[in-house]
């Protein structure tokens, strides 16, 4: 069997603050195949973006990857030096940051920012880099004559397209799209999503799509990992997640979005996610779970394969079959 493009094994990334360590990502594992789009979903603060930074070895201070492996095409990124990572980042794996507005440098022309990424990783002339940059802008639907504009002269949708151009111009194998359509209006959001999908097919890219928007996941992803309080609690193909999910949190999350299943099924998960310096003992979801039992309060559920390629961390997942635990 072919090796996955990216393999994340028991990855832990914590932030060290005065009160203790914030266990933002606390032992997550998943694989990403070549040409696959994996969605990473969950409420804000559940560790989605920290996962992206941990994979790229870009943890902001006072954060650190404390354990685990991130194997990209056979190479463990956690073991690379900062110098080695500078060569790997963008060239092998890149990111389209959340909020293009803040990610682009406001005092540099759009085209120059994209060229900078090319020249950093490729031994080519300024003229060739310019041509490549213009081709890429055209590919993402931005008129190359706008290359000399500054970010503030671009609309939100165009800025997001420019970010996508920057993430793709070095021809990486994996791209992480962190909330790529947040802050865009609905029409532009649909266009940007379509663009990512078409580029993914064109370049046979592996994509991690980080979003709190489950409609985006349903539309664009092959597989989905649901995160809660720093852990992946359910992981399966997109059809299983939307039709045969077995984790009470996944069920609540999907049913909290009226547009997905209709208002008859609407539920709201009570309470809010726990603090991650001292997360709850046992299952981190137990204070909010409608079927929590004694064992849930004491023992952390093992992340196990309940059916073929359907992984779950819940002591009572089997009880979810055909039951409405949120009634």
Rounded to a whole number of angstroms, the minimum distance from the CB of residue 46 to ligand SF4 is 14
Nearer to ligand SF4, 22 or 289 (CB): 289
Nearer to ligand SF4, 110 or 314 (CB): 314
**Residues touching ligand SF4: how many (CB under 6 A)?**
12
Nearer to ligand SF4, 124 or 297 (CB): 297
Rounded to a whole number of angstroms, the minimum distance from the CB of residue 248 to ligand SF4 is 5
Residue 236: burial class (beta carbons within 10 Å; 0-12, 13-18, 19+)? buried
Strands 304-307, 310-312: parallel, antiparallel or unpaired by DSSP? antiparallel
Rounded to a whole number of angstroms, the minimum distance from the CB of residue 316 to ligand SF4 is 4
CA distances from 98 to 183, 197, 220, 299 (A): 9, 18, 17, 35
Degrees (nearest 5) of the Cα angle 225, 24, 255? Answer: 40
Q: Which of 222, 162, 192 is nearest to 40 (CA)?
A: 222
Nearer to ligand SF4, 205 or 236 (CB): 236
**What is the rounded distance in angstroms from the CA atom of residue 98 to the CA atom of residue 51?**
13
Nearer to ligand SF4, 130 or 315 (CB): 315
Question: For residues 28 and 231, is the Cβ–Cβ distance under 8 A?
Answer: yes
Q: Which of 315, 293, 289 is nearest to 302 (CA)?
A: 315
Rounded to a whole number of angstroms, the minimum distance from the CB of residue 141 to ligand SF4 is 43
* By the rule CB under 6 A, 291 interacts with ligand SF4: yes
**What is the rounded distance in angstroms from the CA atom of residue 14 to the CA atom of residue 27?**
10
Rounded to a whole number of angstroms, the minimum distance from the CB of residue 269 to ligand SF4 is 11
* By the rule CB under 6 A, 248 interacts with ligand SF4: yes
Residues 302-321 touching ligand SF4, rule: CB under 6 A, are: 314-316
Residue 106: burial class (beta carbons within 10 Å; 0-12, 13-18, 19+)? exposed
Nearer to ligand SF4, 53 or 249 (CB): 249
Choosing from 39, 172, 180, 301, the residue that interacts with ligand SF4 (CB under 6 A) is 301
For 16, phi then psi, to 5°, come to: -100, 105
For 82, phi then psi, to 5°, come to: -55, -35
Residues 258-287 touching ligand SF4, rule: CB under 6 A, are: 283, 285-286
* By the rule CB under 6 A, 226 interacts with ligand SF4: no
What is the Cβ-side half-sphere exposure of residue 205, based on CA atoms within 13 angstroms?
31
Rounded to a whole number of angstroms, the minimum distance from the CB of residue 196 to ligand SF4 is 32
Nearer to ligand SF4, 161 or 315 (CB): 315
Choosing from 30, 174, 296, 311, the residue that interacts with ligand SF4 (CB under 6 A) is 296
Chain residues that interact with ligand SF4, rule: CB under 6 A: 248, 283, 285-286, 289, 291-292, 296, 301, 314-316
């Amino acid at each position: 069997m072919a090796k996955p493009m990216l393999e994340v094994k028991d990855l832990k990334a914590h932030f060290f603050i005065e009160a203790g360590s914030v266990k933002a990502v606390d032992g997550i594992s998943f694989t990403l195949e070549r040409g696959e789009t994996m969605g990473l979903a969950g409420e804000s603060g559940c560790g989605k973006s920290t996962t992206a930074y941990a994979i790229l070895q870009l943890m902001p201070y006072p954060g650190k990857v404390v354990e685990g492996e991130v194997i990209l095409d056979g190479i463990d990124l956690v073991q690379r030096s900062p110098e080695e990572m500078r060569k790997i980042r963008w060239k092998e794996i890149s990111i389209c940051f959340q909020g293009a507005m803040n990610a682009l440098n406001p005092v540099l022309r759009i085209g120059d920012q994209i060229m900078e990424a090319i020249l950093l990783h490729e031994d080519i002339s300024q003229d060739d880099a310019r041509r490549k940059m213009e081709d890429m802008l055209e590919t993402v639907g931005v008129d190359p004559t706008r290359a000399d504009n500054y970010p503030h002269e671009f609309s939100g949708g165009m800025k997001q397209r420019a970010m996508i151009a920057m993430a793709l111009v070095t021809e990486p194998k994996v791209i992480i799209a962190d909330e790529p359509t947040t802050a865009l209006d609905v029409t532009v959001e649909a266009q940007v999503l379509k663009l990512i999908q078409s580029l993914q097919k064109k370049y046979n890219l592996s994509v991690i799509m980080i979003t709190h928007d489950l409609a985006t996941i349903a539309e664009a992803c092959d597989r989905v990992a649901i995160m809660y309080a720093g852990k992946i609690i359910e992981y399966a193909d997109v059809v299983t997640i939307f039709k045969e999910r077995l984790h009470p949190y996944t069920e609540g999350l999907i049913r909290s979005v009226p547009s997905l299943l209709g208002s008859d099924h609407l539920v709201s998960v009570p309470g809010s996610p726990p603090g991650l310096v001292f997360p709850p003992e046992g299952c981190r979801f137990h204070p909010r779970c409608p079927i929590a039992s004694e064992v849930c309060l004491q023992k952390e559920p093992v992340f196990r394969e309940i059916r073929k390629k359907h992984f779950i961390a819940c002591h009572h997942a089997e009880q979810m079959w055909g039951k409405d635990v949120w009634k």
